[in-house]
Amino acid sequence: MQVIGLLTENPRAYYEMIEALREKNIKFVSLDHSEHIPAHVGVIITTEAESEKVGFDKVVTDPDPDSAVAKALAALVGDSGIKDLVIGIDPGTRPGFAVVGDGRVLKTSVAPSPEAVGTLVEEVVREHPDANVVIRIGHGDRTNRNRVFNKLWDEGHKLEIVDERNTTKRSQTPDEDAAVEIAITPGYKPRKKQDTDPCEGEIRNIQRLSRLESSGRVTVSRDLARKVAKGELSMTDAVDIQSSGSNHD
């Protein structure tokens, strides 16, 4: 089995790449410019500045460690390409996002909003046009989950909702790690779009967060809290509207 080789004299790049590889449990070997490249190395990750010094046919560079690892894994797969691609999403105001191709973690990140997940999905699908893509979304945080679900439903993706009760990990990247667990856990396939109307508890929580946002000055109305939950308003905008007195709920 071929593995990734890590070849760089840049201490920071070396540390960041090792962290990215270990987080994804990917086998690799550390190399030195003065050493012969072992036969079981299929691709080498290095820095842009050092790439011309690497005498190997498959070399990848990227300043972002996760992207570099994703490129290296894609290069290992070769011309056959990835057949089965699963995207895992840990719902929230900033959803965790993970891509697993043929059983390997290719990429993890955090989306800036539920709606932004759609853009990340589009990028992945473009990179792997021949793959069979399934998107799995954790069942928690119902309103944000359903915002993500409905966006992807409208785009025609294969969707599953996964019981995520055992996906929370104690780590520096819990949302991303949860997204990986969600990606590798089969779920059920809903037959229709989901309700995005927030429950009473979600409304109260947004009102609580609005007090924190405003340093205790205001509590947004239920109507504004509902709009925040559905992604129609940002928390900052809702607090500004409430502060100005233009909301009458």
Determine the distance from the C-alpha atom of residue 214 to the mean position of all C-alpha atoms in its chain, rounded to a whole number. 30
Give domain status of residue 213, yes or no. yes
| 73 phi/psi in degrees, rounded to 5 | -65, -40
pLDDT per position as a tens digit, 73-131: 878 876 457 889 999 999 988 999 999 988 888 888 899 988 889 999 998 888 888 88
Residues 208 and 235 in one domain: yes
From the list 135, 61, 69, the residue with the least C-alpha distance to 105 is 69
CB atoms within 10 A of CB 12: 9
Least confident range of 28-32, 112-116, 120-124, 243-247: 243-247
Among the candidates 59, 80, 101, a domain finishes at 80
- Domain count of the fold of the chain: 3
Residues 91 and 171 in one domain: yes
- At 78 the pLDDT is 64
pLDDT at residue 168 greater than cutoff 80? no
Give domain status of residue 193, yes or no. no
Residues 179 and 89 in one domain: yes
Query: Tokens standing for 76?
Result: 């290992």
Residues 175 and 95 in one domain: yes
Residues 101 and 88 in one domain: yes
Range of the domain at 99: 84-183
Mean pLDDT computed over 146-164: 92
Interstrand relation of 59-60 and 96-101 (parallel, antiparallel or unpaired): unpaired
Give domain status of residue 224, yes or no. yes
Give domain status of residue 46, yes or no. yes
Instruction: Output the domain CATH number for residue 115.
Output: 3.30.420.10
Give domain status of residue 45, yes or no. yes
CB atoms within 10 A of CB 171: 11
pTM of the model: 0.67
Among the candidates 47, 80, 113, a domain finishes at 80
pLDDT at residue 167 greater than cutoff 80? no
Determine the distance from the C-alpha atom of residue 161 to the mean position of all C-alpha atoms in its chain, rounded to a whole number. 16
Give domain status of residue 249, yes or no. no
pLDDT per position as a tens digit, 183-217: 999 999 999 988 878 889 889 999 999 999 999 99
Residues 75 and 94 in one domain: no
Among the candidates 136, 155, 183, a domain finishes at 183
Residues 92 and 140 in one domain: yes
Give domain status of residue 189, yes or no. no
Give domain status of residue 191, yes or no. no
Instruction: Output the domain CATH number for residue 9.
Output: 3.40.50.2300
